[in-house]
Amino acid sequence: MTDNASDKPQTATGGQGQAMWGGRFSAKPAELMQAINVSIGFDKRLWSQDLAGSRAHARMLISQGVIASEDGEEILKGLDAIEGEITAGAFPFRDEYEDIHMNIEARLRELIGPVAGRLHTARSRNDQVAVDFRMWVREACERSAAQLASLQKALVAQAEVYADALMPGFTHLQPAQPVTFGHHLMAYVEMFGRDASRFRDARTRMNECPLGAAALAGSPFPIDRQATAAELGFDRPTANSLDSVSARDFALEALSAATIAATHLSRLAEEIVLWTTPMFGFIKLTDAFTTGSSIMPQKKNPDAAELIRAKVGRILGSLTTLTVVMKGLPLAYSKDMQEDKVPTFEAFDALELSLLAMAGMVADLTPNTEKMAAAAGAGFSTATDLADWLVRELNMPFRDAHHVTGSAVKAAETKGVDLAELALADLQAIEPRITSEVYTVLTPAASAASRISYGGTAPTQVRAQIARWKELLG
């Protein structure tokens, strides 16, 4: 309890030091109760949503004749004054009023007097926090989708420049088949596109307004829930008052989408970490996205990528936290649900920072095309091309071609050469019908260019996908 909290019996009038719910109580809460109960330290982030909801509610009450228009206008002017104080950094956030809702209501009473109490007609903190939080999560989903689009644009820009640049494609982190750097980057464009669609889908599902559900059972006043829903940008009001105040699946869905997006960011971050090592040497980052060592002067560490890689733990932890909070709660509202905001805020803060940093890194990186091209032919990466040639040119069943190619790889390995360097006589010793034409498919460049199926790594296909995404992203 703060120093100016009253020892007098508390009332619902909300005067200085008095709780908004105080009429039922004859003594102030214990200090420990106050400490565990107060949420203003984190839920003050909802101030703009709370003011928007209060304005919509006040205008609806005026329109429906529930409160006098002059009282409503005083309330709206007072809310405008409070917004000015908050944006100017002059608003007196106080622990004795617990949360952002009661802080704003108490300040409104200080500014305009008892008429402020009429604002809470036909609503409860239960539907108030439900609408505020839903609006905040909705905006977070919109921001995340926009930031994902910015990252996609950065990837597309690099992919367009390096649509022909050869690099090894991996499975099990072993050289598999040659691909292009542009094709590799476009794989992440697809992943992040699905992430953005998950946020858009989540936004669509959550876009129902709980305001007007009151505590849990609705209101006896002639309120117009369609009007408040429309003013606040919702598609419709929620259809069940119990569900309205007790649902947090909209936050769980958003956190799930955030976790998947963070997982994709982590995968790209891991590749950046690998690619910047001297052993790979595929890309370089400037000083803008690297740090040094306090003891080893030669070091240039990809710390931004490493930190992005780690953020998925925090974001997944937030999803797990809220899932556990909600898993056993009976309808309708329980105070447990106050624990919904911190993990959600933290998760989206981490995701936003990660998306911005990754977009910056992608734009910053410079590939070493010579080193990537040299690595593209390592590990007999054109072996599948040999097998495919045997099927096409010799009409050999693929399983037989696979066996012949395996023997050719073994022969090349024994001689310490690549497949393209294996003598024709050595190949014909394995399969006499092989001709010199086989060498046209055994280079990494020929291998990549041959993958002309839709979505393949052939530069023509890569450019087609780049053009598609440039149109989609605008």
- According to DSSP, the residues that pair with 167 across neighbouring strands are 179
Instruction: Specify the pairing of strand 166-171 against strand 174-180.
Output: antiparallel
Name the active-site residue from 172, 294, 436, 453: 172
Non-local (6+) Cβ contacts of 148 within 8 A are: 192, 193, 195, 196, 199, 261, 355
Q: Which of 469, 471, 434 is nearest to 152 (CA)?
A: 469
Cα distances from 117 to residues 79, 203, 381, in angstroms, run: 13, 33, 75
Measure the CA–CA gap between 53 and 56, rounded to whole angstroms.
Answer: 5
Return d(Cα 81, Cα 293) in angstroms, integer.
51
- H or E element, residue 177: strand 174-180
Active site residue 241: no
Known catalytic membership, residue 407: no
Q: Which of 69, 197, 293, 334 is catalytic?
A: 293
Task: Determine the angle formed by the axes of helices 459-473 and 125-161, rounding to 10 degrees.
Answer: 140
- How would you classify the pairing of strands 166-171 and 366-367? unpaired
Which residues touch 349 (CB under 8 Å, ≥6 apart)? none
Active site residues: 172, 293
